[in-house]
Amino acid sequence: MTPRLIVSDLDGTLLGSDHTLHESTVEVLRALVKQGHHVALASGRHYYDMKVFRDQLDIPAHLISTNGAYVHDPEDTLLAANHLEPEHAKTLIGLPRPPQVRLNLYRESGWHIDSEAPYLLSLHASTGFGYEVVPPAQMDTNGVGKVLYLGDPNALKLLEAQAQEAHGDALHITYSTIDSLEIMAGGVNKGVALSSLLERLGLTPADCLAFGDNLNDTEMLDLAGEAQVMANAHPDLFDRIKGAERIGHHGEAAVAVWLKKRFGL
């Protein structure tokens, strides 16, 4: 048997509509690990947020967190950390934005936000991961893995253009949802992190099966030998990935259904 690396996004992909793991998903991934396959979770979520899902799966999975800014092995060893240049983080913190747009920093140590946003905590209810409110003027520009703006899509488009004009290719700019603009250091994305992980495991892209639903999954899906795009995916994603297969909806545990068929479980 040729071991494979199965890598999946979380929200909108591996997790159900309630942002939790379906029982069948847990069973399938455990069975595949027992067969000798590797599993990695790749998300815009913070490492501490993702670790809860790996603990629930109870398998030795690698974690690609903060859209590839950090990579941890199954024993929680930090394999890679890629931060924004402090001057770039300072620029992004200072960009003018409407008061309803929330500014967030994802750091190795946690999640900073510029103002209270209780509605965001519901997305992390199953993990208990929460933010610390820090006024922008007091935000530390060192060790920032991701700057995240949340709010009106039109306002985010303006912020995207301003960030691009300020630092260009020194930034990697993407979206995890239409109202979630995510900015990392240039060259930092899930695909780059996945490439290094495959090399570490002694596997090739052809040995990789990837699942995703949004634009921040583009590079990861494009690299994988077998790319699966969710039925609920961003409308532009499927056209970006050559040879991708469209599978079912994340609310129906479609990743587990597909894997059962693919591996004859």
Active site residues: 9
Neighbouring C-beta atoms of residue 65, cutoff 10 Å: 27
Contact present, 246 and 258 (Cβ < 8 Å): no
Instruction: List residues bridging with 80 in a β-sheet.
Output: 71
Question: Considering Cα of 256, then 250, then 69, then 63, what sign does the dihedral take?
Answer: negative
Give me the DSSP letters along 158-184. HHHHHHHHHHGGGEEEEEEETTEEEEE
The owner of tokens 């109870």 is: 58
| Helices and strands (DSSP H and E) totals, the chain | 9, 14
Residues 6+ apart with CB under 8 A from 147: 84, 89, 92, 93, 103, 104, 105, 106, 182, 183
d(CA 129, CA 27): 25
Contact present, 198 and 208 (Cβ < 8 Å): yes
State the number of CA atoms in the 13 A half-sphere of 103 facing the CB: 20
